[in-house]
Amino acid sequence: MGDAQRLSPDEQIRSAREAFEEGRDFTIAVEEEFALLDPATLELTNRFEEVKAGAAGTDLDEHLVGELIASEIEIKTGRCDDFPQVAELMAKRRDQLEELAGRSDVALAATGTHPWSRWQDQRIIDTLHYRRNNEILQYVVWRNNSFGIHAHIGIRGADRAIAVCNAFRNVLPELLALSTSSPFVEDTVTGLHSARTEIFTKMFPRCGIPDAYDGWASFEEYVRLLYETRSIDEHTQLWWSVRPHLAFPTVEVRICDAQPELSQAQSLAGLMHALGARFARAIDEGEPLPNLPNRLLEENFWRAIRYGLTGGLIDFERREVVPARARIEALIEWVLPDAEEIGAAPYLAVPEANASERQYARLEELGSARDVFAELVRRPRELVGG
What does the pLDDT look like over 92-106, one tens digit per residue? 999 999 999 999 999
CATH class of 9-366: alpha beta
pLDDT at 383: 43
Angle between helices 172-179 and 262-285 (to 10 degrees): 170
- β partners of residue 290: none
* Count of beta carbons in the 10 Å neighbourhood of residue 370: 12
The model's pLDDT over 76-87, given as tens digits with 9 standing for 90+, comes to 999 999 999 999
Residue 297 is inside which H or E element, if any? helix 294-307
How far CA 35 is from CA of 42, 91, 109, 312, in Å, comes to 10, 17, 5, 30
Residue 380: which pLDDT band, with cuts at 50, 70 and 90?
Answer: confident
User: Contact, 22 vs 68, CB < 8 A?
Assistant: no
Instruction: Answer whether 0.85 is exceeded by the pTM.
Output: yes
Which of 11-15, 139-143, 361-365, 380-384 has the largest mean confidence? 361-365
User: 334: which residues sit within 8 A by CB, 6+ positions away?
Assistant: 278
Amino acid (one-letter) located at 217: A
Q: Buried (b) or exposed (e) across 221-256, using 16+ Cβ within 10 A? A: eebeebbeeeebebbbbbbbbbbbbbbbbbbbbbbb
In percent, the amount of the chain with pLDDT more than 70 equals: 97
Residue 67 is inside which H or E element, if any? strand 64-67
Helix-strand-coil percent breakdown of the chain, rounded to 5? 50, 15, 35
User: Contact, 243 vs 165, CB < 8 A?
Assistant: yes
The model's pLDDT over 217-257, given as tens digits with 9 standing for 90+, comes to 999 999 999 999 999 998 899 999 999 999 999 999 999 99
With 0-12 CB in 10 A as exposed, 13-18 as middle and 19+ as buried, what is 37? Answer: buried
pLDDT at 87: 98
| Greater pLDDT, 384 or 172 | 172
Q: If you ran DSSP here, which 8-state letter would residue 345 be given? A: G
- Parse the chain into domains and list their residue ranges: 9-366
Cα 84 from chain centre: 19
User: Considering only CA atoms, which of 233, 70, 209 is closest in space to residue 137?
Assistant: 233
Q: State mean pLDDT over 348-369.
A: 98
Q: If you ran DSSP here, which 8-state letter would residue 210 be given? A: P
pLDDT at 386: 37
User: Contact, 155 vs 251, CB < 8 A?
Assistant: yes
Cα 304 from Cα 306, distance rounded (Å): 5
Cα 40 from Cα 192, distance rounded (Å): 28
pLDDT at 129: 86
The model's pLDDT over 28-58, given as tens digits with 9 standing for 90+, comes to 999 999 999 999 999 999 999 999 999 999 9
Cα 279 from Cα 125, distance rounded (Å): 37
Cα 63 from chain centre: 16
